[in-house]
Structure 1
Amino acid sequence: MKRPLLIAICVLLGLTSGCGSDGSTPDPGVRTEDAEAVDLDNLLIRVSGRAEVLPEARRLLEALGQPVPSLDGVPVSIEEPLRLAVNDVNATFGTGALTADGAFSVDGVPVREMHQSLAAGLTAPGLVRTATVIYDTAFTSARPRTDLVDTRAWALPESFHDALSAAVGEPRLLRHTDDKAATLRDAGFVLGRVVDADGRPVAGARVTPDRTELADRFYYPNADFSGVGQDGTGPDGLFVYVHSGADAETFRVSVEGADAYTPRNVGAAPGWGLMLTVYPGSFPPP
């Protein structure tokens, strides 16, 4: 996709931060007078980390006596969720495969191609197509300048997706999609978790979008995934956003009444789900 078209997409989707290069440089918090200049237009970075089956999915499968999918050899792609959402054929910047313990490392990721965020995408039989946000320009208003290490991605088994779709309920899914989709995958969705500074799930948190017309699309699964509510997160800190089943939408989500949580970039489109962890401060918890 040509750069002018990408800029046009950014304008149409209402994006500003991180969409294109504005020349701004965030304060890194250290002295940099003697640091070597970084050529962002030609910078290639390595992205490494680990993927694992979503803990709640593992718990549910084990409770039902069902096998937990192996991630050994599962393909992983480093991609731009914004570009993925608008079906850009150049949304993927590098690929690799998970090891038996879920580790991955992808070299040569071109920073200049990223506009809003980077995600680790997982696609394999038995798993729903997902992209887990691993870098968000919401924190720095800039692209990454170093390798990304110790990132974390989540794998979402088909059976857990089906249970989550059933918890939201077909009537709600059909209502939000004008009768186009009866599952979260067909609608498009965001599955997020609110955690504290130590990475512990936060119960009772409310997630609000910066577009008020989308507020009624957020749901909070209960502890056994038998249903959902709209009052706040349960003990797992999870929330689900149901997309319209139509064209891509992007927006930001905040944690209501909690200024320590930076508003995060999210987006959704039919056929896949965006995964993210919402945490206070600027750095992911350990």
Structure 2
Amino acid sequence: MMRPRLVLCCALLGLAPSACGPSVEPDPGVDRSDSQMVDTDHLKITVTGRAEFLPEAVRLLEAQGQPVPSLEGLALTIEEPLRVGVSDPDSVLGNGSINASGDFSVPDVPVRTVNLSLAATVEHPGLVRSSTVVFDTAITRTRPRTDIIGARAWALPVSFHDALTRAIGDTAIRTHTENRARTLREAGFIIGRVVDASGAPVAGARIVPDAGPFASRIYYPAADFQSASQGATSATGLFVYVHSGAAADAFTLSVEGAPGYLPRHAGAAPGLGLVLTLYPGQLAP
């Protein structure tokens, strides 16, 4: 029998319960005549990549004359971020650490509990708890079937979070949360990056959620992080979604007028930050 929290998770994410259960699917390929069946109920993969501070956060630290901290030795968790949002006990899928070069490798990650995405999460004093999406079923239309390599996990220093909070403003955050929160971390938030095929930030992009009420919660920080508008991305390509500070929400995000950017799964819950990069095509630059 499916656990009550899992049923809630499936309902929240707009999935039929059967989509959250066992599946046995063939490996992808042009010619499947000789392909083997992959039992995703028992498949485990390794997630490898590099953890770094968000580039815009690094520039802000340098502009303020602050040193960029080291991530060496910090714990890194592989999670299903939207399961985290509904406090599902099976949300954590693997644990590892970051080495001196910023690299990480987390083995034995089971894919059977992946509903929408996988994320690499970094949490430590001086950092805001943030989960970076490293695999999204919106792009693949299936759970992971092979190891994930070259993943990127972005860390967010508290000072960067504080700058974003000030840019959006106390009044806006309190309005969106009905006075439940005064900071992005308390409310829950998404920080997104719109980049082109080479990975360069895209200015003038507008983000469109699939649910109308969420559109009013999207802000675009100015390049100097002194303010934020609801027009379009600045030269940084950044946008911020302010959550309600209440129950978790799940939805998809698209780039307006840019069909080459596939819709992406997203979600938010109090106390959590999700980092999402929107890029054209199916392969991250």
Normalising by the residue count of structure 2, what TM-score does the alignment of the two structures yield?
A: 0.95
- Aligned residues: percent identity? 57
Following TM superposition, by how much is the alpha carbon of 1:104 offset from its aligned partner in structure 2, in angstroms?
0.3
What residue in structure 2 maps to residue 78 of structure 1?
A: 78
CA distance in 1, matches of 2:266, 2:13: 12
How do residues 1-286 of structure 1 correspond to structure 2 at under 5 angstroms? Answer: 2-3=2-3, 5-15=5-15, 19-21=19-21, 28-285=28-285
Which deviations, in whole Å up to 9, do the C-alpha atoms of 1:37-67 show, x marking residues without a partner?
A: 2121100000000010011111111111112
CA distance in 1, matches of 2:12, 2:112: 21
Look up the equivalent residue of 1:231 and give its one-letter code: G
Following TM superposition, by how much is the alpha carbon of 1:24 offset from its aligned partner in structure 2, in angstroms?
8.6
Which deviations, in whole Å up to 9, do the C-alpha atoms of 1:164-183 show, x marking residues without a partner?
A: 10001001000000011110
CA distance in 1, matches of 2:116, 2:171: 33
Query: Do the aligned partners of 1:50 and 1:102 also contact (CA within 8 Å) in 2?
Result: yes
Which deviations, in whole Å up to 9, do the C-alpha atoms of 1:49-100 show, x marking residues without a partner?
A: 0010011111111111112121001110000011100111221000000011
Normalising by the residue count of structure 1, what TM-score does the alignment of the two structures yield?
A: 0.95
Following TM superposition, by how much is the alpha carbon of 1:257 offset from its aligned partner in structure 2, in angstroms?
0.6
Query: Do the aligned partners of 1:17 and 1:116 also contact (CA within 8 Å) in 2?
Result: no
Q: Describe the shift of the 1:200–1:144 C-alpha distance in structure 2 as closer, same or farther (beyond 3 A).
A: same
Query: Do the aligned partners of 1:79 and 1:93 also contact (CA within 8 Å) in 2?
Result: yes
CA distance in 1, matches of 2:85, 2:8: 14
Deviates more, 1:28-37 or 1:80-89: 28-37
Following TM superposition, by how much is the alpha carbon of 1:31 offset from its aligned partner in structure 2, in angstroms?
2.0
Deviates more, 1:203-212 or 1:81-90: 81-90
CA distance in 1, matches of 2:11, 2:104: 34
Question: Which consecutive unaligned segments of at least 5 residues does structure 2 have?
Answer: none
SS at match of 1:145: coil
Query: Do the aligned partners of 2:22 and 2:112 also contact (CA within 8 Å) in 1?
Result: no
Following TM superposition, by how much is the alpha carbon of 1:14 offset from its aligned partner in structure 2, in angstroms?
2.6
Q: Describe the shift of the 1:26–1:209 C-alpha distance in structure 2 as closer, same or farther (beyond 3 A).
A: farther
Following TM superposition, by how much is the alpha carbon of 1:23 offset from its aligned partner in structure 2, in angstroms?
5.2
Following TM superposition, by how much is the alpha carbon of 1:21 offset from its aligned partner in structure 2, in angstroms?
4.8
CA distance in 2, matches of 1:241, 1:19: 27
CA distance in 1, matches of 2:115, 2:2: 13
CA distance in 1, matches of 2:25, 2:235: 38
CA distance in 2, matches of 1:231, 1:165: 18
Look up the equivalent residue of 2:278 and give its one-letter code: V
